[in-house]
Amino acid sequence: MNERFLVVKYIKEFIFSIENLLINLPRKELLVKNRIMNDLYDILEFIYIANLSKDKNIKISIIGKLSMLDFYFERLYKLNIISEKVCMKKCRELDCISKMVYSWLKNES
């Protein structure tokens, strides 16, 4: 049960840190900015739903959304919109959250 609450805590902290980062994105990247925020809110919603459900597909959806976020950050880095340092930091944070979700999925199997 504690694992679930840790995931919620980390994803909330991640959302707040990303909001500060996205403020400075160029206007032409508005679509990516919106996709990132929508995916983050979807992940948080899926985590709350997964806390009440035994459906594995919800947790698999969380992992898919986290993978997409990793792609968005890689894309922003390749376009020189964010620095390598920022990209690596955010990808490490996503990796940490992914590991939590994987262990949560494994423990409930």
On whether the pTM is more than 0.85, the answer is: yes
Contacts of 72 (CB under 8 A, 6+ apart): 32, 35, 36, 39
Q: What is the pLDDT of residue 52?
A: 86
Residue 59 has pLDDT above 80, yes or no: yes
Q: What is the pLDDT of residue 108?
A: 74
Q: What is the mean pLDDT of residues 19-31?
A: 91
Q: Which domains does the chain have, with CATH numbers?
A: 2-107 (1.20.1440.60)
Q: What is the mean pLDDT of residues 14-20?
A: 93
Contacts of 22 (CB under 8 A, 6+ apart): 33, 36, 37
